[in-house]
Structure 1
Amino acid sequence: MEIEISNKEDLITQRIQIKILKLKPNSKLKITLKTELPWCLGEEYSSYGVFLSNEKGEVDLALAKPIDGTYENAGSMGLIYSLRKSKTQGKNIAENISIEKPILINMTFEAPYEKKEINLKRLFKTEDVIVKNINEKDFAGKLFFKGKANKTVLMLGGSSGDSEALSLLAGPLASYGFNILVVPYFEAKGLPDKLEKVPLEYFEGIFKWLQNNEILNSKEIFLHGTSKGGELALLLASRYKEIKKVIAVEPHAYCFQALDGMMSGNNVSSWSYKDQSIPYIEVDNNIFFEEQKKAVKKGISFGFASTYKKSIEKALSKEDARIKIENSNADILMITGKEDNIWNSYEGCKEIVKNLKKNNYKHKVELLAFDKMGHPMPVPYIIPISETLSMSMMGGVFSSGGTIEGNAEGQYKSWRRTIEFLK
């Protein structure tokens, strides 16, 4: 048995090409993959596939469909995207996230009378990426950059408020030559404790710092926002002309009520300006509880998408709450899953496109929508999709939407387009 692997050590977002040669023709080959997240050792993930070699005695993972395993269709990354937890020590993978150490992967190849092992190393950032803590008077954040990078992206996370998790996205993106500044917008010094009346003027100081910083000197500012951060990115672009590009991942067309964790919080906006609530749509928690009870009774999964849809339908001031993105001065890339079950982002994105066309928007607009994608992280091959696709909640199963394969495909294709769009 001879194993050809394109890249035993590479950036984690890169696909791996694996080909096995010199097998007996039409013989079985089992490949098992095991790995752990470097900041959460003891939580083991594994996957496997059983294949039949062709008449030449070869198995090419890009072309070979497994006859048994954790995934169904041919694809070089099937063993990666189908990883599931196989051992646990009860640790929380969302805690203590760090990109300093690589992910190590063990692969075992078992053919009749022959067995081989190969180890892979998957890097979160290239060696020349510098990570610097920023502590200014009005904000604190983390900057990822290379010496000669000249395009700067301000990165905004979702409603979890975990800016450390954004390093999983910032590290790989900085490896392609962009300056990435990650900042919190709540649960930090001088900011609200919850996602409630977040002051937009907070970002004015950040924009000035980006434009005047000697490392960056960024006259043009790019935004990347995910989920609730996508809503924020579009809102900021509608008000600040220095923003020239926006990537909004799983965003919405409206401003919504404040959040307290995953549920609606106080009856004020998520956003404010000069301490005044930005017009918003109320999100009724009772709709969610009714939907959840029905889903549990039927034995099906549930999410928040229908809650947001119904809240929009019953809103009396939709136009006031709509983000006036037609006022922006930016090229816009929106990325969404047609099966997003966190909120109805696909419908929101279509509404944004419709309004921009109606207003003869003069800048570039692109919508990437994926059929079997829900609401995954906007970077591929890091956190196993099985971890984020569904979870036990309130006597049932909460789902973020889509399928494992559909989410993986959407993650990879949208990641490639993200890099091209920012260039």
Structure 2
Amino acid sequence: MKISIEQESFVDEKVHIKVSGLNPNSKLKASVKMELPWCSGEEFSSYAVFSVGETGEVNFDQSEPVKGTYQAADSMGLIYSLKQSRSVGKNIAENINIERPILMNLALESSSEKREIQLIRNFKAKDIVVKQISDGFTGQLFYQENSRNKTILMLGGSDGQLEGLTLMAGPLASRGFNVLIVPYFGANGLPEKLEEVPLEYFEKIFRWLESNEITKAKEIYLHGTSKGGELALLLASRYSQIKKVVAVEPHTYCFQALDGLMSGKNVSSWSYQGKSIPFVAVDNNIFFEDCKKDIEKGIPFGFASTYKKSLEKANNKEAARIKVENSEADILLICGKKDNIWNSYDACSEILRNIKNHNYSHHVELLSYENMGHPMPIPFIIPLSFTLEMPMNEGIFTSGGTVEGNAQGQYESFQKTIEFFKN
């Protein structure tokens, strides 16, 4: 058995597997086992069985499994189809640490031989420095020594978890950027919850990025996901030093503050000079009614219909709309047409129409994916089977899309994100 594979790579990169020297007209079984480096005991597994043809070769990018945890001709199927096979009760979203790589055990078993290979999936290059920042705000800066790299300010979603952003910051910094990740609520000097987050907080960060010896950033790039995408577009519409924005699964409007399962106060998520920025109210009754109907029908539920119907009821949409046309930035919008957290595809389409109507002079691009929902913006780390559907309220909550559709959208959009920031 001869195996062709790149054993070490970055976490977001594809692995291509080709096996030759097999007995013609036999079977080849491939299986993967993985534990995340910060969460030992939580094991994920996948497998695929292939028919070996007359050539005695199986190219995983060209061969569909005859059975397994995935069906497509795709070497990465073994990784994106990983499912939990053992648990000791740990939460994989806690204690995230990217200092150690993900190690995957790939086993290949033919009719006459069994081989095992360890795949090493790195979060960051060896020369990336991670510096804790506490200078009027808290955060982490990922950078290379003595570089003149462009600077990306990265904003997460409504979970408020800074650790999760490191999963993207490491790979982005390894491609030649300074990446600063910051909280915007739930930290010292900030609102405890995602309620009336002051935009002045970011003015302080912008000044720091401009004056800091490492970054010296006269131009700022933003990357925002979900509520962070809403925030990134809002900031770009108000601050001219922002020159590039990647908004992943964003919305067109400022929405009501989030508190738990959409039971927020009657205030905006954002504020300026002590006042709530105009917002669209989110009607909780719609969510509970739609959720109950979906559970009774035995189908997964989400939040998207709540946002759609809340927008239909709103009589202040123009006041709450983010005036993206006032930005001076190139913008990359990324969304899935099956987003079930909120209707980000409708939102991105509306942003494009508004920008066109205002003769926007900067580059704007929309990447939309037919079968993608609302996944993380980086592929091949947290197994999609773990995040796509989960028990909630005596039913099944889904973020939308298929495993294959989310994997494709994650991979393609993250590669496009790197290209967009580089060019």
Q: Shorter-normalised TM-score: what interval? A: over 0.9
Partners of 1:70 and 1:287 lie apart in 2 by: 36
1:200 to 2:187 alignment: no
Partners of 2:416 and 2:4 lie apart in 1 by: 28
Partners of 2:130 and 2:298 lie apart in 1 by: 46
1:3 to 2:22 alignment: no
**Alignment map for 1:51-200 (pairs within 5 Å):** 51-136=50-135, 138-147=136-145, 148-200=147-199
Q: Which amino acid aligns with 1:338?
A: K
Q: Deviations over 1:164-207 (max 9, x none)?
A: 11000000110001000000000000000000000001000100
Partners of 2:214 and 2:115 lie apart in 1 by: 48
TM-score computed with the length of structure 2 as normaliser? 0.99
Q: Which amino acid aligns with 2:84?
A: K
Q: Deviations over 1:356-410 (max 9, x none)?
A: 0000000000000000000000001111011110110011000000000000000
The percentage of aligned residue pairs carrying the same residue is 64
Q: Deviations over 1:300-321 (max 9, x none)?
A: 0000000000000000100000
Secondary structure of the 1:231 match is: helix
RMSD of the alignment, in Å? Answer: 0.6
Secondary structure of the 2:39 match is: coil
Partners of 1:369 and 1:400 lie apart in 2 by: 16
**Alignment map for 1:37-52 (pairs within 5 Å):** 37-52=36-51
Structure 1 residue 53: deviation in Å? 1.2
For the 8 Å contact 1:159–1:262, the answer to whether it is kept is no
Secondary structure of the 1:54 match is: coil
1:21 to 2:17 alignment: no
Partners of 2:175 and 2:261 lie apart in 1 by: 33
Q: Which amino acid aligns with 1:254?
A: Y
Partners of 1:414 and 1:4 lie apart in 2 by: 27
For the 8 Å contact 1:140–1:183, the answer to whether it is kept is yes
Partners of 2:115 and 2:331 lie apart in 1 by: 48
For the 8 Å contact 1:257–1:264, the answer to whether it is kept is no
Which residue is 1:306 aligned to?
A: 305
Structure 1 residue 13: deviation in Å? 1.0
Q: Deviations over 1:90-142 (max 9, x none)?
A: 10001000000111110111111311111111100010111000010x21100
Runs of 4+ in structure 1 deviating by more than 2 angstroms, as ranges, are none
Q: Which amino acid aligns with 2:420?
A: F
Partners of 1:52 and 1:249 lie apart in 2 by: 39
Secondary structure of the 1:214 match is: coil
Structure 1 residue 261: deviation in Å? 2.6
Which segment is superposed worse, 210-219 or 141-150?
141-150
Which residue is 1:393 aligned to?
A: 392
Extract unaligned runs of 5+ from structure 2. Answer: none
Structure 1 residue 149: deviation in Å? 4.2
Partners of 1:393 and 1:288 lie apart in 2 by: 13
Extract unaligned runs of 5+ from structure 1. Answer: none
Which segment is superposed worse, 107-116 or 391-400?
107-116
Q: Deviations over 1:2-48 (max 9, x none)?
A: 1111x211111111111101001121000010000000000000000
Aligned residues: 421
